[in-house]
Structure 1
Amino acid sequence: MSLLTMFDLEKKFTSFYTDCVKLSDQEINSLREKKRINIDRLRDGLSEYNDENNAEYKIMEIIEQGSVAMRTVTQHDQKEYDIDVAVVFDSSNIPDDTKKVKSFIEDALQRKCKQFKASPKAKTNAVTLEYASGYHIDFAIYRRTLNFYDSSFEYEHCGSEWRSRDPKAINKWFKEENDGSDKNVRRVVRLLKMFCKSNPGWLMPGGLVQSILVAERIQIRDRLDEMFFETIKSIKERLDYNKEILNPVTGQSILYNKKDEQKVKNLCSRLGSGIEKLSVLFNDNCTEDNAMNAWKNFFNHKFWGEDIQKSFSENAMLEARNEELLRLTALVNMGTGDSYPLGEFEGRLPKGCSIYFQVDPLVPYTKVEWIVHNYGDEAEGDLYHKKEGRTVVEHTKYRGNHTMTCKVYEGGRVLAQKVIPVNIR
């Protein structure tokens, strides 16, 4: 095998893509049904708001956006699917104050979404509706103005200020790029998103940035594994000398702040590390096991094999013993006044929650210690801290897979301990 030849794992790589990356049409349709239901809730809530406030706000268009519209959403989200919807009003029928606009949309949704554990919340670029199971819907708000010269509409997005942006233009651009690549841009974008989400603690750019980079640097090959590798290598080389990301429709930067810029730097750095992990694929003596392990290290996905836990039985015995010695409670408050068991969220929480931990040791003890480990880019300096007492309260500040460890002591000896995963998206 030549040093320039990549180990051929095409069949397994394609199976990975088909079985573990690409979302089925049935699941895509399910996401769209959730979108439809919540659009109806918004319309009904807005009607109530108008009646009570002597207003006449009227939705003129609903436009699907983002990964669902472009069909780049992946399975690796583990039900943490983003559904993006553009809600368009006429510019003559909506306030200039962007905070006021998001406020009445938030109010309208809250009227019809009282069954949710978290109230709809106005954020900088959208009003977000969270499902406890991981779904969330972003209602991005737009206003349109009729251009009398050609009878077309000009659109502006409601963020920290009104910015010119056509919600249909990106969808059209992506379709043209994907069609021009014989549908390969979409496939590579899905795979790149899998990599970017392989560690929940990473602070990585969103799907639009990834789509722009893939469309710009796509390297067409017959084999999907080769095409993906050559494309991410080309993206890495591009980012080494130019980390600016421009909207392909307007030509304006979509990196609005230092955090956006840092996400692109992180992508560049982690692609470099990932490509290095795949270098074994070009060795003369590379075996299938070597290749499988390389892709496992790259994607961090169980499809490529799971490590054998040699101490499984010991861990199981220890866990059973811990259950006999302590009783642990973890309740989540999402700002609504009600609390819910952490287990109901399947370990996936939004930011801005409070978690109430309590332990009831079932044996005599002298001290209870709680140890917080924060993992991920957002935590930065706040990676580790301790507290004492039977009850503690923590807040979901940082995105990532974190842990809370409870240790019960008798003197200097640990009687029992339990590790609770706290995964924040």
Structure 2
Amino acid sequence: MKDLNSKFNTFYGKHVVLPKKEKDSLFEKKNLNIKRLKEGLKEYNEEKGTSYKLAEEPIVQGSVAMSTVTQNESKDYDIDVAIVFEKDLLPDGTTKTKNIIVDALKKKCTNFKVEPTAKTNCVRIVYQEGYHIDFAIYRRYKKNEEDDSYTYEHCGSEWRERNPRAITKWFLDENKAKNYQLREVVRLLKMFSKSRESWVNMPGGLIQSVLANEQFQSYERMDECFYYTVKAIKDRLAEDTEVVNPTDPSKSLKLVSKDDTKMVNLYNRLNDKLSKLEILFDEECTEYQAVEAWGEFFNHSYWTEQKEKLSKALESYTSLNELEEFTRYRETEEFIQYLFPVNYQSRYELELDCRVVRNEKTAGWLQSMIKKREVLLPGCQLYFMAKTNVPAPYNVYWKVKNRGEVAQINDNIRGEIVQTDSLNHYEETSFKGNHYVECYIVKNGQCVAKQRINVDIKLS
């Protein structure tokens, strides 16, 4: 297969992955509407003499949680947020429960063209720009008093047992097991599925994610990994268009008859556009032909621009192309809210500091160094120490996140959450970046305390 991986990586990094600014904007809107919900519930309680409140911090779900949102979904974002209540504090009826959330949101969502609305499976807030936020309502309880974990039920047409973290955890686990390439394939497949305005009735992101995971083909090059995976998806759909819930194989993800049409559309469009890529396997395939083929597949201006550059054969093109190349790195970061219920509304505290050692001598304590704006250099030993008033027994988790260009170039952003059950953690300063370390205390299956300390390393 013609190697076009460098351009493929650039296309992915610059035109597929959602920029940080837009990601931040999504989470700002999510946080704003959670704030509106909490304030609305408080006002509702004061008026009605009730005591409705969230049992844990809201949980982002769907493509935003799995980080598979792409740039061509602009103004069509679907932000799913699970809100959880204690079972014995909610009405038994699902309609009444949804109406409580609608009424609470209406008290604070006053400038919307469309008021918050109760749907079958959620309460929806629609923005004028076209995207929407869905609040999926859950109730939780313990089947037995001694249980560490909760049982969750989703508020739909009736209460049905469902874990709000299950799908996200499934995807993140599968992505990790596939060396973090599954997310790349899903983003690219979604990019393809929305590449033509006339392409309506295509399967949703979850079905595409399940298919990509099921048919994943491991290759080091991104272009090969994507090509062989979507070819396998196409071949699979030729035989069977059924797709089941990966966390409950007894349930189909095809809920209505229209979903059958969507599956057929995906097969037909993959079958047609994959045929345009056959030139990639010709030994005489030129770079121009390869660019043209991928341009036909993705229907994106990036490939048109690459064709124009090649056809003009500018002397500066080679160096320009190198400057445009995207640094590919694995997105390894994990988030505590996708692993455990989060409840920071307790009396528990967590303090975090770090003893900095250089040349076998204590150079200072990191919190004090930060306040004094003292520089932290490479070549130091860091002894992190946590203190908490959470009564034992509990579990301790640590997260080390590297940030900055050097971390990306070295494919070393880290960010995995690791259970150590120790209040002490050791690291060394290696390279420049505004890094950070977080510590979490988990008790009875809930994260009850969290603390972060910045580790800003400068060049020596």
State whether TM-score is above 0.5.
yes
What are the Cα deviations for residues 79-128 of structure 1, in whole angstroms up to 9, with x where unaligned?
Answer: 43221100111222222332222222122212211122322222222222
Name the counterpart of 1:161.
Answer: 158
Aligned residue number for residue 223 of structure 1 = 221
- SS across alignment from 1:114: coil
Aligned-partner SS, 1:137: strand
CA distance in 2, matches of 1:96, 1:274: 50
Residue type of the partner of 1:131? Answer: Y
Residue 3 (structure 2) aligns with: 8
- Which residue number in structure 2 is paired with residue 264 of structure 1? 263
Number of the residue aligned with 1:296: 295
Residue 150 of structure 1 corresponds to which residue in structure 2?
147
Query: Which residue among 239, 242, 251 is the counterpart of 1:241?
Result: 239
Q: What's the RMSD between the two structures over aligned residues?
A: 2.0
Q: Which residue of 2 aligns with 1:209?
A: 207
Quote the Cα distance in structure 2 between the aligned partners of 1:36 and 1:277.
44
- TM score, norm. by length of structure 1: 0.67
- Structure 2: 5+ residue stretches without partners: 309-460
Note the C-alpha offset of 1:204: 1.4
For residues 274-297 of structure 1, what are the alpha-carbon distances to aligned partners after superposition, in whole Å with 9 as ceiling and x for unaligned?
A: 212222322344332322222222
| Unaligned residue ranges in structure 1 (runs of 5+) | 1-5, 309-425
Cα deviation, 1:331-370, whole Å, max 9, x if unaligned, reads: xxxxxxxxxxxxxxxxxxxxxxxxxxxxxxxxxxxxxxxx
Match of 2:107 in 1: 111
Q: Distance in 2 between matches of 1:269 and 1:94?
A: 47
Classify the secondary structure of the residue corresponding to 1:147: coil
Other-structure match for 1:70: 66
Task: Give distance in 1, aligned partners of 2:81 and 2:126.
Answer: 14
- Provide the rounded CA distance (Å) in 2 between the counterparts of 1:50 and 1:162: 23
Measure, in 2, the Cα distance between the counterparts of 1:121 and 1:199: 30
Pairwise CA distance, 1:18: 0.4
Q: What are the Cα deviations for residues 306-342 of structure 1, in whole angstroms up to 9, with x where unaligned?
A: 799xxxxxxxxxxxxxxxxxxxxxxxxxxxxxxxxxx
Partner of residue 41, structure 2 = 46
When the two structures are aligned, how many residues end up with a matched partner? 303
Decide which moves more: 195-204 or 223-232.
195-204
Q: Residue 24 of structure 1 aligns to which amino acid in structure 2?
A: P
Partner SS for 2:134:
strand
Q: Distance in 2 between matches of 1:133 and 1:175?
A: 30
Distance in 1, matches of 2:129 and 2:60, equals 22
Offset of residue 233 of structure 1: 0.6
1:207 and 1:238 map into 2 onto residues whose CA distance is 18
Tell me, in whole angstroms, the C-alpha distance in 1 between the residues paired with 2:158 and 2:296. Answer: 42
Partner of 1:172: 169
Deviation per CA, 1:112-163: give whole Å up to 9, x if none. 1112232222222222212223332111111112121523211122223322
Aligned pairs for 1:8-407 within 5 A: 8-61=3-56, 62-148=58-144, 150-200=147-197, 201-251=199-249, 252-305=251-304
Cα displacement (A) at 1:66: 1.1
| SS of corresponding position for 2:150 | strand
1:381 matched residue in structure 2: none
Alpha-carbon separation, structure 2, partners of 1:18 and 1:191:
11
Structure-1 separation of matches of 2:241 and 2:143: 35
Partner of 2:6, secondary structure, is helix
Moved more, 255-264 or 34-43: 255-264
| Paired letter, 1:12 | K
Cα distance in 1, alignment partners of residues 267 and 161 from structure 2: 29
Hey, which bits of structure 1, 4+ residues long, moved more than 4 A? none
C-alpha separation in 2, matches of 1:53 and 1:266? 50
Aligned with 2:133: secondary structure? Answer: strand
- In the aligned structure 2, how far is the partner of 1:257 from the partner of 1:162? 20
After TM superposition, the score normalised by the length of structure 2 is: 0.62
The 10-residue stretch of structure 1 (276-285 or 184-193) with the greater mean CA deviation from structure 2: 276-285
How far is 1:168 from its partner? 1.0
Evaluate the alpha carbon distance shift between residue 205 and residue 162 of structure 1 in structure 2; reply closer, same or farther with a 3 A threshold: farther
Question: 2:446 corresponds to which residue?
Answer: none
Change (3 A) 1:89 1:106: same
* Amino acid of the structure 1 residue aligned with 2:47: E
Name the stretch that deviates more: 239-248 or 226-235.
Answer: 239-248
